[in-house]
């Protein structure tokens, strides 16, 4: 399963989702590859030391850089500094063969990098904030998936703040309008995520043994993905 984590709206938690789902799936015994497609190299900068990431830029040549392995067991294919977007889809597909799940961290626009991710993907996962403009953008994203004949794996809410009236209005609105795609595990707004990122860690490493609702929600989404992929492969087997 090659999952494009897609939303052209910026800052909705795409990178945070890629990192924490990768960890949750790895802990459940799955082999996971993350692909940093974004020129901002945010996924790389989240979990690897900044100097190691910046050094990649000077090592970038005509081919993709080798896979980097994080101490958690998650592998990362760094495409951030590679300009040759024409070869992204083939490169992703080739590497994905060795993994149960490949998570594509898309940039915040529908540029060539994102479109290459959609070309390589077998399904799309959409994180969204429960707010007006994010909500209004969802239909366009679903239409884009249809254009690429990609099934939507799920839509889920990120950065949910139960004290915000708008969040309490839009969360049920999203759940109702997109009932066929909606994943009920909403990721709460939690200081854990920016803090872990600042410390160059995944939230699980930062939280240690302390239970955190955000990490539990990512764990639930990982379970949802595993269940859904079993259903999809059973369907394929029947065809
Ligand atoms: N559930 C959350 N609670 C609190 N902060 C969060 C949460 N998820 C993400 N963040 C923080 O919000 C910021 C944006 O998150 P992130 O980089 O994952 O979004 P993005 O969609 O990948 O952004 P971009 O569109 O720039 O790629 C980061 O500082 C991140 O630490
Ligand atoms: Mg990002």
> Domain extents for the chain?
2-238
Is the pLDDT at 238 greater than 80? The verdict is no
Q: What is the mean pLDDT of residues 199-224?
A: 94
Lowest mean pLDDT among 35-39, 92-96, 200-204, 216-220: 200-204
CB of 221 sitting under 6 A from ligand 1: no
CA distances from 49 to 20, 32, 54, 78 (A): 17, 20, 9, 14
* pTM for the whole structure: 0.97
Q: Which ligand is nearest to the CA of 46?
A: 1
CB of 189 sitting under 6 A from ligand 1: yes
Per-position b or e across 132-149, b if 16+ CB within 10 A of its CB? eebbebbeebbebbeeee
Cα 13 from Cα 19, distance rounded (Å): 10
Q: pLDDT: is 208 or 109 the higher one?
A: 109
Q: Are 88 and 19 contacting, i.e. CB atoms less than 8 angstroms apart?
A: no
Q: Count the neighbouring beta carbons within 10 Å of the beta carbon of residue 180.
A: 9
CB of 123 sitting under 6 A from ligand 1: no
Q: Which atom of ligand 1 is nearest to the CA of 105?
A: 22
Is the pLDDT at 239 greater than 60? The verdict is no
CB of 80 sitting under 6 A from ligand 1: no
Is domain 2-238 annotated with CATH 3.40.309.10? no
Q: What is the mean pLDDT of residues 11-32?
A: 98
pLDDT category, 232, cuts 50, 70, 90?
A: confident
Q: Which atom of ligand 1 is nearest to the CA of 191?
A: 4
């Amino acid at each position: 399963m090659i999952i494009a984590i897609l939303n052209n709206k910026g800052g909705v938690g795409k990178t945070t989702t890629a990192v924490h789902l990768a960890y949750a799936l790895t802990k459940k015994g799955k082999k996971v590859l993350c692909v940093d497609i974004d020129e901002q190299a945010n996924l790389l900068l989240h979990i690897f030391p900044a100097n190691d990431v910046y050094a990649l830029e000077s090592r970038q040549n005509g081919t993709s850089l080798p896979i980097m392995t994080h101490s958690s067991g998650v592998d990362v294919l760094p495409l951030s500094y590679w300009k040759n977007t024409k070869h992204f889809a083939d490169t992703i597909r080739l590497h994905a063969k060795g993994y149960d799940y490949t998570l594509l961290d898309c940039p915040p626009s529908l540029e060539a990098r994102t479109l290459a991710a959609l070309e390589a993907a077998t399904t799309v996962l959409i994180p969204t904030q429960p707010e007006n403009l994010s909500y209004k953008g969802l239909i366009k994203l679903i239409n884009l998936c249809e254009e690429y004949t990609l099934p939507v794996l799920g839509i889920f809410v990120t950065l949910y703040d139960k004290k915000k009236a708008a969040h309490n209005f839009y969360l049920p609105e999203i759940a109702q309008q997109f009932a066929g795609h909606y994943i009920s595990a909403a990721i709460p707004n939690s200081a854990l995520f920016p803090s872990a990122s600042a410390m160059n860690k995944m939230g699980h490493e930062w939280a240690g043994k302390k239970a955190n609702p955000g990490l539990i929600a990512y764990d639930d989404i990982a379970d949802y993905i595993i269940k859904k992929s079993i259903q999809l492969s059973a369907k394929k087997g029947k065809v």
